[in-house]
Amino acid sequence: MTQSQQDLDQHFITHALTLAEKAEQLGEIPVGAVLVDENNNIIGEGWNLSIVNNDPTAHAEIIALRNGAEKIQNYRLLNTTLYVTLEPCTMCAGAILHSRIKRLVFGAYDYKTGAVGSRFHFFDDYKMNHALAITGGVLAEKCGEKLSDFFKKRREQKKQQKLNQSDI
Ligand SMILES: [Zn+2]
Catalytic residue among 24, 28, 61, 87: 61
pLDDT value of residue 93: 97
Give tens-digit pLDDT for 112-137.
999 999 999 999 877 666 689 999 99
Q: How far is the CA of 113 from the centre of ligand 1 (A)?
A: 9
74-99 core/surface letters (b: 16 or more CB in 10 A; e: else): eeebeebbbbbbbbbbeebbebbeeb
Distance CA 127, CA 130 (A): 9
Give tens-digit pLDDT for 131-163.
899 999 999 999 999 999 999 999 999 999 888
pLDDT value of residue 6: 95
- pLDDT band for position 43 (cuts 50, 70, 90): very high
Q: How far is the CA of 39 from the centre of ligand 1 (A)?
A: 26
pLDDT value of residue 168: 62
pLDDT value of residue 41: 97
pLDDT at 11 over 70: yes
Long-range contacts of 97-100 (CB under 8 A, 24+ apart): 97/122, 97/123, 97/126, 97/128, 97/132, 99/65, 99/69, 99/75, 100/76, 100/130
Give tens-digit pLDDT for 49-64.
999 999 999 999 999 9
Q: How far is the CA of 167 from the centre of ligand 1 (A)?
A: 39
Q: How far is the CA of 31 from the centre of ligand 1 (A)?
A: 9
Give tens-digit pLDDT for 70-116.
999 999 999 999 999 999 999 999 999 999 999 999 999 999 999 99
**How would you class 5 by CB atoms within 10 Å of its CB: exposed for 0-12, middle for 13-18, buried for 19 or more?**
exposed
pTM exceeding the 0.95 threshold for the entire prediction: no
Distance CA 29, CA 27 (A): 7
Distance CA 90, CA 121 (A): 9
* Residue 141 annotated among the catalytic residues of the structure: no
Q: How far is the CA of 7 from the centre of ligand 1 (A)?
A: 25
pLDDT at 69 over 80: yes
50: nearest Cα among 100, 91, 16: 91
Torsion of CA 5, 7, 13, 16, to 10 degrees: -100
**How would you class 59 by CB atoms within 10 Å of its CB: exposed for 0-12, middle for 13-18, buried for 19 or more?**
buried
